[in-house]
Amino acid sequence: MQLDTAIIKLRKFYTSEKRLPTHEEICQLFNFSSKNASFYLVKKLVEAGVIEKDQKGRLTPKNLFAIPQLGIIKAGSPMPAESSLHDDSIDLYRYLLDMPGTIFSLVVKGDSMIEEGITEGDIVIVEKGREPHNGDVVAACVDNEWTVKYFRKMQGNVVLLPANPKYKPIFPKDSLMLGGVVISVIRKYH
């Protein structure tokens, strides 16, 4: 069995179960007739750095969700191919684990932050409770309506600024509650 096939099946299992399978479940998942085949596969996956065992011997993801990062690509003038290539990877599982525990996500509707690169349908990851600084993008409830905007404190007052000239700055009239600071944006193309 190729490791790529095993990795795909393990990713699907982990996504649905929020954990890696036991050796018995690996036998079922891969139609193995003996646990020895399961132990062999696990050994190969550990050697490849895809999974690891914790102190109690349970399997945990290591680079299970790593996406190969093959280099740099310019969005301006093209560059020679050989100067853009390197072999690295981004592990999305570790990336998400390294985020603070007080995060939540919101789906963006509208185009008021388009010049910041936040477009309709994007998912913003917001850190709750983080103190915003001028220029931070925040999720805020202003006068009982939620929005995502730049945070700016001017002369002791907060103003929420859009990243699109079609929209006006928002000055809270009755209430302002900051939900948190946007720390990441996820966009999925079709």
Active site residues: 112, 149
Q: How many CB atoms sit inside 10 A of residue 38's CB? A: 20
CA distance 159 to 167: 13
Q: Which two tokens stand for residue 88?
A: 């690295």
The single residue listed with the structure tokens 């750095």 is 49
Pick the closest to residue 101 from 135, 125, 66, 133 (CA basis): 125
Q: Beta-strand (E) ranges in the chain?
A: 51-53, 59-61, 66-71, 85-91, 103-107, 123-127, 137-142, 145-154, 157-161, 176-186
CA distance 121 to 63: 28
Contact 123, 106 (CB under 8 A): yes
* Backbone phi and psi for residue 188, each to the nearest 5 degrees, phi listed first: -115, 125
